[in-house]
Structure 1
Amino acid sequence: MNKKSLQGKRIAFLATDGFEQVELTKPWEAVKEAGAEVVLVSPKDGSIQGMHHDEKGDTFEVNQSVHTASAENFDGLVLPGGVANPDSLRTCEDSVSFIRDFFKQHKPVAAICHGPWTLIEADVVRGRTVTSWPSLKTDLKNAGADWVDKECVCDEGLVTSRYPDDLPAFCKKAVEEFAEGRHAKQTV
């Protein structure tokens, strides 16, 4: 992939306290290295707390509130995992609407680990092939997804991976999908 394949694109990273730090920082670096502008969006103002599994990591400054953010202003979305992060995001209607709007606008979305929990709440996994942290398998199947145990799955612009060990494949595929852009067959 061209080092500047995302030149001129804006990619949102939606997270709140409790996100798995490496699942934000590695994709952030890959997307930025490919030339995109990266924007940390959150329902929380100020800074949010990263985690290294169950230990506190670093804090990160939020660039934009999800309450004022619009999918129209972005070319793609990354949803990091961690247990507390997506569990909190899926109870925030503005976060759920923000995610759903990327699908309505046929824009690529990349979710890793527990990140797909938010996709269930947005009702965008029915009929799609996805992967995730193994404990989400039943939730995703109950929401109508075809869950598979693979390093990285891409279904019409929706990129999913299981856990931090999958980050190299996840980052590569996310950058490819963001470079490709709009997915005409992607549906809500």
Structure 2
Amino acid sequence: MKLRTTGLAAAVTLAAGLLTTSPATAAPVGVGLPAVVAAAKDKAAQKYPDARFRGAEAALDEPPVTGVEGIRRWALHFTDPSHPSGGFSYVYGVDGEYQVTEIWEPVAGLRVVDPFTMIEDKALAALRGSGVDEPFSALSLSQPEGGDARAATEPTYYFCVDHGGEGRVTGIGTETLEVYPDLYACEV
């Protein structure tokens, strides 16, 4: 990954300022999703100037996992009218290194994600602080247009939490830290 010096300095500053040291919410060895998104946006702007960031999905190591250290990579989804499929995903490791570009077919209901600074361990800390202790089998970030209007007003981390074999999605707002419990069912 080739970052501009100012981008790298901002990413390091952001990551250093947002990491926690609590064992229950230890950050992954990496730079945090906001820094990865910034790098992906810079990369997209070079080849697809009209590309718009629509969300991210974590690939987890043997889900369900209990912490963000179980995240192996992020797929960052973009739409662009000039791309043959209308969308693509840049896949990055948690270390911020670009890995591969994949075709992504845009889905209805996802709007352009507003800028956000919350890293995934802060979202997990808010989830745990709300009393949810169960492991999660999926983690994503988006800003949907529809669905539960409570979570649609800000970029939101979505955890598929395993409640004894039944998965329920709980959202964590990146601006308000608001917890949106039991938004909908998910596959566990």
Q: Which has the higher contact order (CA 8 A, sep 6+)?
A: 1
Q: Give the alignment's TM-score, normalised by structure 2.
A: 0.27
1 or 2, which has the higher helix percentage? 1
Question: Which structure has the highest strand share of the two?
Answer: 2
Rg larger in structure: 2
